[in-house]
Copies of this chain bind each other. A is one copy, B any other.
């Protein structure tokens, strides 16, 4: 695959479930998983040499087009979790990641999120190295 994204193509982070993210059941609220996935792909991008804050300062933004998530077992307040983020597909227009959230060996959730890159006007940008990492010497 002639991907604009250099290796690695997967990355792991550790996340402690915060009290403020936990709901009246004592469980990580399902909406919070999406913020975890976002952290996962940003850290993968950092591991590839990218800098998402810098990318936004160049007027380029990543937006979510589509997502699906399966919740298999609940994550609880204070759990220490491992999130694996893996590039599933890259086309000139879209970037897809797969996510697996685990507590030890137990798989808690699995998701796919489809992203696109847009400029300030919302116009879709091709996913090239220059768009993602900045033009060399710029």
Contacts and interface: CB of A to CB of B under 8 A. Distances in A.
Interface of A: 18-20, 22-27, 29-32, 34-35, 38-39, 42, 52-53, 56, 61, 63-71, 74, 76-78, 122
A22 B23 contact: yes
Nearest to A43: B16
Contacts of A26: 24, 56
Contacts of A63: 25, 27, 71, 74
Interface centre among A25, A61, A74 (most CB of B within 10 A): A25
A53 B65 contact: no
A74 B121 CA distance: 12
A64 B24 contact: no
A16 B64 CA distance: 21
Contacts of A65: 70-71
Contacts of A42: 19, 78
